[in-house]
Chain A
Amino acid sequence: MNSQTATPTPRPTTAIGPAGAMVEVPLYRLAHGRTGDKGDISNISVIAWREELFPILMAQLTEEAVGSWFAPRRPARVTRYPIASIAAFNFVIEGVLDGGVNDALNLDTHGKALSFHLLDFPVLVTPELAASLPDVHHP
């Protein structure tokens, strides 16, 4: 969506506000997920790596926030379905596929890659929590 999110390397963890307050981490450190499609509707699952991360996502990964994150693709509507029993959310994003496999001119008409855009969404957490989250391991 922009030059920052098109970069495959993880964003550095940067402090914002007063030192020691909160830090920004990409969503993939709190959750995993995948994309499915039906027509011009994309659904993206967001599954917390650990149960205690679910409330953080509930507070920050709102329908409005996800809608803004995908704004360049002009979604008509975003609906969030929380499923607390598996610490997961299902996001249903309508009108985000430029017409889907029917009409889109994109290479990825299914929008298979869209979950990886969402997984770069910035989430604010405490530095202590950030230190405990999984991250890409470079051998």
Chain B
Amino acid sequence: MDTFKAGCAAGFSGDRIDGVEPVVKTLIDEGGHALIFETLAERTLALAQLARNQDPDAGYEPLLADMLRPCLGDCLRHGIRIVSNFGQANPPAAARRIRGLATELGLRAPRIAVLGGDRLDRPEQLDYLRGALPDGIDTGRIVCINAYQGAQEIADALRAGADIVVAGRVADPSLVVGPAMAHYGWSADDWPALATATMAGHLLECGTQVTGGYFAVPGLKDVPDMHRLGFPIAELGRDGGIVIGKARNTGGRVDAQTVKEQLLYEVHDPAAYLTPDVTADIGQVRVTPIGPDRVRVDGVRGHARPATLKANVFVHGGWLAEAEISYAGLQAEARARLAADIVRRRLGNTLRLRVDLIGALSILADDGGEMLSAHPHGTGRDIRLRMAAAHADRGTAERLLREMNALYTCGPAGGGGVRTSIKPRLNSISVLVPRDLAPASWSFLA
């Protein structure tokens, strides 16, 4: 049987959408099997649910058609299966949009599978969760609850002939595990095989983060042609090895360093990387460069999957207010500090305020402001004051914006460039749920 190959063309909702063509061209030339798009960060799903609440036909990846237009025809012609969580909070609507796109493009009607079971909204599910959630969570403010589903239903849909699998919440690596299971006929308890496929999926799921994105430090870790980074392609052998490469004729780099950084990205215990499919163990993993932009990863071990599924609960979390104003030249930093002090004294204890002196101390400081207090007053001459606050009540949060705006006339000399923003916040809580509370399902689009 030929070696399974999968490419990835998106690492998050908002990723570049022009990376797909070189990936698909490489997959065609090399006999690839699957193309994945990962578009569903934790928070993205809650935002999609809010969009669906406004419009029952919305709630899937907004760039869906733009992502698929350049590749749908080639994938259907060459038998490259498309597997993605771009269904977000509304997989059936995404599937209908894809069918419409195929018609627009004059293509044959694709067989589209829709995954379900991730969304927990039935009364018995909510009853269970009310008992499992920490005290103080107002269940009336819940936006959505979704369980991370696994690869089994993806594999089943592909075995039944799906050209495209549209998922909502599934574990990101399962987007690769599913087609690999279908390709090799692996059973759902072949832990070593599933663990290796899981780490292949883990390496692909963030797109260019394994091919030179999120890596470059000029003069120390240079990456060629970052304006046209190649998206990654993984080969998964029957023998338990992964080879990571990238689309041909693209920028970026794949070497031991880029692969090791991504291997550990968002991992906690390397001996127990938990997904719905398996417990993957990279405690003895090996990473070996085997050619230009080609790296072999082996030594992944697998253990039985966890007994429970992880579910994310999103609740409305009030309002985040942020505002900025700039000072330049003589005593700029002192003027920015004075401005912050004025706003503090105006607002008293109404809001918990965060103060950043962009250009002096911002990103590494703490919300409590201890670092800023301890930071010696400097002589920065180009400083942007940023203040932020959160509050359950919009009007209260907006007071910060009004005070910052008033600094134009009531604040220190020469303050300019005020920008303000107020955004709703979403809070998330993770809970573990029994598998039988959230059975996964799939069906072909009728």
Do A and B originate from a single complex?
Answer: yes
B-binding residues in A (CB < 8 A): 1-3, 5-6, 28, 32-34, 36-39, 41, 43, 45, 47, 72-74, 81, 83, 85-86, 88, 90, 92, 98-99, 101-108, 113-114, 117, 134-139
Q: In the complex, what's the smallest C-beta–C-beta distance from B218 to chain A, in angstroms?
A: 8
- Kindly state whether residue B362 has any CB partner on chain A within 8 Å: yes
CA distance A136 to B361 in the complex (A): 23
Closest residue to A108 on the B side, CB-wise?
B363
Query: Which residue of B has the minimal Cβ distance to A119?
Result: B217
CB-based contact B285/A86 at 8 Å: yes
- Which of B116-124, B131-139, B258-266 sits within the interface? B258-266
Within 8 Å of chain A (Cβ to Cβ): is B268? yes
Counting CB contacts under 8 A, is B325 at the interface?
A: no
> In the complex, which residues of chain B have a beta carbon less than 8 angstroms from the beta carbon of A107?
356, 362-363, 386
State the Cβ distance, A105 to closest chain B Cβ, in Å: 4
Encoded as 1 (CB less than 8 Å from any A CB) or 0, chain B from 410 to 428 comes to 0000000000000001111
Given A43-B264, A47-B260, A105-B354, A81 and B363 contact (CB-CB distance below 8 Å): no
Chain B proximity of A50: nearest CB distance (Å): 11
A32 touching B221 by the CB < 8 A rule? Answer: yes
A-chain residues with CB within 8 Å of residue B299 when the two chains form the complex = 85
Tell me whether B261 and A32 are in contact (CB under 8 A): yes
Q: In the bound complex, what is the Cα–Cα distance between A110 and B55 (angstroms)?
A: 30
Chain A CB within 8 A of B53 CB: no
**Nearest CB of chain B from residue A95's CB, rounded to whole Å:** 11
B239 at the interface (CB under 8 A from A): no
Residue in B257, B389, B428 whose beta carbon sits within 8 Å of that of A102 in the complex? B428
List the B side residues contacting A47 at CB < 8 Å.
257, 260-261, 264
A-chain residues with CB within 8 Å of residue B430 when the two chains form the complex: 39
Lowest 4 CB-CB distances: which A-B pairs, in order?
A36-B266, A105-B354, A45-B264, A98-B367
Known contacts A98-B366, A103-B390, A107-B362; A86/B286 CB under 8 A: yes
Binds A, one of B68-76, B159-167, B368-376, B431-439: B368-376
Whether B257 lies near A32 (C-beta < 8 A) is: yes
Can you name the residue of chain B whose Cβ is closest to the Cβ of A136? B219
B287: interface (CB < 8 Å)? yes
Q: How far is the CB of A1 from chain B (nearest CB, A)?
A: 5
Instruction: List the A residue with the shortest CB-CB distance to B378.
Output: A3
Instruction: Contacts A32-B261, A81-B269, A81-B270 given; indicate if A1 touches B317 (C-beta within 8 A).
Output: no
Q: How far, in Å, is B227 (CB) from chain A's closest CB?
A: 19
Structural contact, A113 and B354, CB atoms closer than 8 A: no
| B356 surroundings in chain A (CB, below 8 A) | 107
Q: Which residues of B contact A106 (CB under 8 A)?
A: 354, 363, 365, 367
In this assembly, does B220 line the interface, its C-beta being within 8 Å of a C-beta of chain A?
Answer: yes
- Chain B interface extent, by class: 35 or more
A105 touching B219 by the CB < 8 A rule? no
Residue B409 CB within 8 A of the other chain: no
B220 and A136 contact, CB distance less than 8 A:
yes
In the complex, A6→B389 CA distance in Å? 24
Q: Roughly how many angstroms separate A10 CA and B282 CA in the complex, as a whole number?
A: 33
Instruction: For B268, list chain A residues within 8 Å (CB).
Output: 38, 41, 43, 90, 92
- Which one, B214, B260, B367, B374, contacts A88 given CB within 8 A? B260
**Chain B interface residues toward A at CB < 8 A:** 42-43, 214-215, 217, 219-221, 257, 260-271, 282-287, 299, 317, 320, 352, 354, 356, 360-368, 370-371, 374-376, 378, 386, 388-390, 425-428, 430
Min Cβ gap A26→B in Å is: 11
Assess the A86–B266 pair: CB atoms within 8 A: no
Known contacts A6-B364, A107-B356, A113-B363; decide if A43 and B267 are in contact (CB<8 Å): yes
In the complex the two chains form, is B261's CB within 8 Å of A102's CB? no
| Nearest CB in chain B to that of A84: its residue | B284
Cα distance A46–B289 in the bound complex, in angstroms:
19
Known: A34-B215, A72-B365. 11 other contacts (CB 8 A): A28-B217, A32-B221, A43-B265, A43-B267, A72-B370, A86-B287, A88-B260, A102-B427, A103-B427, A105-B352, A105-B367
CA distance A74 to B360 in the complex (A): 21
23 A-B Cβ contacts within 8 A? A3-B375, A5-B364, A6-B364, A34-B215, A34-B261, A36-B264, A38-B266, A39-B430, A45-B264, A47-B257, A47-B264, A83-B282, A85-B283, A85-B284, A85-B285, A85-B299, A86-B287, A103-B427, A105-B320, A106-B367, A107-B386, A134-B220, A137-B219
**Chain B, Cβ-Cβ closest to A48:** B260
Shortest CB-to-CB span from A88 to chain B, Å, is 6
Taking a contact as CB atoms under 8 Å apart, the answer to whether A105 and B389 are in contact is: yes
Closest B residue by C-beta to A87: B260
> In the docked arrangement, what's the CA distance between A86 and B388, Å?
41
Could you tell me the distance between the alpha carbons of A36 and B221 in the complex, rounded to whole angstroms? 19
Q: Are A36 and B286 in contact (CB under 8 A)?
A: no
What's the minimum C-beta distance from B53 to chain A, rounded to whole angstroms? 21
Expressed in whole angstroms, the Cα–Cα distance for A106 and B356 within the complex equals 8
What residues of B have a CB within 8 angstroms of the CB of A105 in the complex? 320, 352, 354, 367, 388-390
Docked complex Cα distance between A83 and B367 (Å): 33
Alpha-carbon separation in the docked complex, A41 to B376 (Å): 29
CA distance in complex: A135, B362 (Å): 26
Which residues does chain B contribute within 8 Å of A1, judged by CB atoms? 364, 371
- B386 surroundings in chain A (CB, below 8 A): 107
Knowing A83-B285, A86-B287, the reply to whether A73 touches B366 (Cβ < 8 A) is yes
